[in-house]
Structure 1
């Protein structure tokens, strides 16, 4: 086999190892049912379409070096996927906080993708984030970031692990933004708790526990649509932070 063809196949494999974790393990792509063979074909096709992957590529010639480079490229892909994982996890945690405040802490639904039990409001926020992601051109932005990653970290040259400082800054920003999504609803439910608690002081015969659950459930159902609608802008901001953080979390040229 000609050396040029061998080099192209090696570059394609390394590029696919970088793209694989993002498309296979990062939300919202994991929320969509898709056979693994289709995902694999999509990853290879997308890797072949990347125009910048061969630019400044440092492809090893030996099999052992190629294997090490493959592990490094897989690490770059995991770092790129980490940003989306964190963003969606923070949004789900914010929804879970509203679940607990609304007394829905024991209410779970079955996730049709994984078959696992998922918190009710947390699942709603996760799928709302996925809807915002696809509605705002998120897949195209991810492809652009992946293409830029080949310029920042050429194939076969990944070195330095994830920058802890960038990771902590990203965690801080997404945490604050995520809990801002449900801040108004959580505050309103807290006021309901205080009102029910004060009412129990004047009417000791009232069953505070039962009344509190009923009132909070009704209030939650009333404010939840408005909360998710108002949160769409904040979700878009969190997703933008994730896209901006993908390259900063990726291992740099080493």
Structure 2
């Protein structure tokens, strides 16, 4: 009996690591940090050992059931990672829209997380969202979410969501939330573009491109400084939506 319980617990740890692993490897803000892979693996295995409960022998003694459980746990972890990826992608998309509209898309900065070139405001919004996530104790909410998910969906008994409409609806919802973080700046720049367009019609000799680029650069910085308070509420709503998406579909 002692050996049976030990094997069941060890298999539970291995299966649970497939559920937790994608969250800490692929999902922001954890994927933004340059953490050694072995450290992430040790963290995932430690959390899995703390949350694991012995599973029935029928789950791992049958090869077909074991392969099905492995695939289900991995896909469930990928779905949780997708929820966070979509939330942070919404802010990145909003920043890219702002970069293109304000003219900052012509210049690229180095993203310290991926070490690749990225638009300025898109990178800034994603990094600020990561800081807000940890400042608001989002890691505690994530751990409570994973612990609750283990009780709601026992290890080895995960079932896949067969409604793609849920993912499409969630993606559209978070994209709308992400745009609210920079909505004031986008609307201001749109009105400024209209004003410059009317001026260029009244004064054909005016260089609308150069004037618009300089004015929009200054206006963007000013309006973003005034509306910076919108970023934190939008980020918190996105984090809440990411944590509530998977449980709402179970």
TM-score (normalised: structure 2): 0.92
Contact 1:163 1:248 in 2 (8 A): no
Query: Residue 54 of structure 1 corresponds to which residue in structure 2?
Result: 53
Q: Is the 8 A contact 1:145 1:246 kept in 2?
A: no
Unaligned runs of 5+ in 2: none
In structure 2, the residue matched to 1:42 is: 43
Which structure has more relative contact order (CA 8 Å, sep 6+)? It is 1
Give the corresponding residue for 2:164: 164
What is the distance in 2 between the residues matched to 1:201 and 1:161? Answer: 55
**CA shift digits 1:217-238 (9 cap, x unpaired):** 1111212223333221122111
Q: Which position in structure 1 is the counterpart of 2:71?
A: 71
Aligned length: 248
Higher fraction of helix = 2
Identify the residue that residue 27 of structure 1 maps to in structure 2.
28
1:108 is aligned to 108
Residues 67-119 of structure 1: per-residue CA shift (max 9 Å, x gap):
33222211110111111011111111111111111112222111122221111
Unaligned runs of at least 5 residues, structure 1? none
Q: TM-score, normalised by structure 1?
A: 0.91
Q: The residue matched to 2:154 in structure 1 has which SS?
A: coil
Corresponding residue for 1:247?
247
How big is the shift at 1:56? 7.0
Contact 2:72 2:160 in 1 (8 A): no
Q: Secondary structure at 2:59's aligned position in 1?
A: coil
Say whether the 8 Å CA contact 2:16–2:155 is kept in structure 1. yes
